[in-house]
Amino acid sequence: MSKSFRILNSNLNAIFSFRKYIWIFSIFIFILIFKIDNLYNESNSLQCIKIMFYGPINLSDNTGEVFIWSIYQFYLLYIVGDYIFKEFSMRNTYTIGRIGSKTKWNSYMQISIFLTCIIYYFFGFVIEMMGMIILNKSISSVDILNILNIFLILTISSYFIATTYYIILLIHKNHSLAFIMIVIYAYLSIMFGAALNIDIFLPINHGILSKHYFVSFGFGISYLYLGILIIINLIIINKIMSKKDIVYYMN
C-alpha cells in the first residue's frame, strides 16, 4: 500500500506544478467573475453551480457558454495530455523499471489520470462554493447531494475524454494532433448533437450540463453510458500497449 501511495504521489507531483495550480485557480475565478451578473438573481448554491458549469447547447447561439466550457475542459485535457506525453517520452524507462511491468505502469497512470480529474474539479467547486458564500447564497443538504452529482458527471466525462485522448496518442504518437482531434471531436459533438437531436448518443455531450437539463436525459443514463465506454477504452489501451515497445515509443 505504501509503495502504491508513493507511486501515485510521484505521478501527481509530476502532473501538478505550482504554475498549473495558479492557472486552475485563475480559470475558475474567471468563470465566477464572468457569470457573476447571472448569480445575483439566484437564491441558492445549486442554481449557481448549474450556472457556472452549464455549458453549451449548440455552437452558434451561446458562444459565451462555448468559451467557458472550452476553457475549463480543454485545460484539464492539456494537463492530462502533458503528463501522458512526458510519461511516454521521458519518465517511462525509469518508472517501468521501478514498478516492474507495463501493465502496472499503465494501471498507475490510469488511476493518476482519474485522480487528476477529481482534484481539478474539486478545486473548481471549492472556488465556486467560496464565491457562493461571499454572495450569501444558501446551502442545504439537498443542494450538496445535487452538486455532488454534477461534480461526478463532470469528472467521469473528463476521464472518458482523457482515455480517448490516450488512445489517439498511442496510435499517432503525436501530442498536438491528439489534442486537436479531441477538440474537433468535442465541437462536432456539440454541433451535431443539437442539430440532429442526437445528444444522448454522443459521449462527450453526456458531460455537458446543459444537455441534461435542455434535452432532459438523466445523470444515471450518463453514468452507465460513460462507464461502459470507459471500460471499452481501457481494454483498447491495454491491447495497444501489450503490442508496443513502450520504452522508446515516443521521442
Per-residue pLDDT of the chain (251 residues; tens, 9 = 90+): 577 888 888 889 989 999 999 999 999 999 999 988 888 877 778 888 888 999 999 988 788 899 999 999 999 999 999 998 888 776 555 566 566 677 788 888 999 999 999 999 999 999 988 888 888 777 777 778 888 999 999 999 999 999 999 999 988 888 889 999 999 999 999 999 988 889 999 999 999 999 998 877 889 999 999 999 999 999 999 888 877 665 545 54
Residue 110 lies in a domain: yes
Residue 82 lies in a domain: yes
Give the count of beta carbons closer than 10 Å to the beta carbon of residue 27. Answer: 19
Q: In this structure, is residue 108 part of a structural domain?
A: yes
Cell reading at 219: 445523470
- Whether 250 maps to a domain, the answer reads no
In DSSP terms, 138 is beta-bridged to: 44
Alpha carbon distance 39, 45 (integer Å): 9
End-to-end C-alpha distance for the chain, whole angstroms? 32
The answer to the question of residue 15 being in a domain is yes
pLDDT of residue 244: 67
Cα 11 from chain centroid? 17
Confirm if 115 and 121 have CB atoms less than 8 A apart.
Answer: no
Per-residue model confidence (pLDDT) at position 132? 82
| Range 147-150, long-range pairs (CB < 8 A, 24+ positions) | 147/45, 147/46, 147/49, 149/219, 150/49, 150/50, 150/53, 150/209
Distance between CA atoms of 186 and 209, rounded to whole angstroms? 14
- pTM of the predicted structure, to 2 decimals: 0.92
DSSP state of 8: H
- Packing angle of the helix pair 63-86, 175-196 (nearest 10 deg): 150
Question: Domain of 61?
Answer: 2-242
Q: How many domains are contained in the chain?
A: 1
Q: What are the cell numbers at 158?
A: 473528463
CA–CA gap between residue 72 and residue 121 (Å, rounded)? 9
In whole angstroms, give the CA distance from residue 65 to residue 90.
37
Residue 247 lies in a domain: no
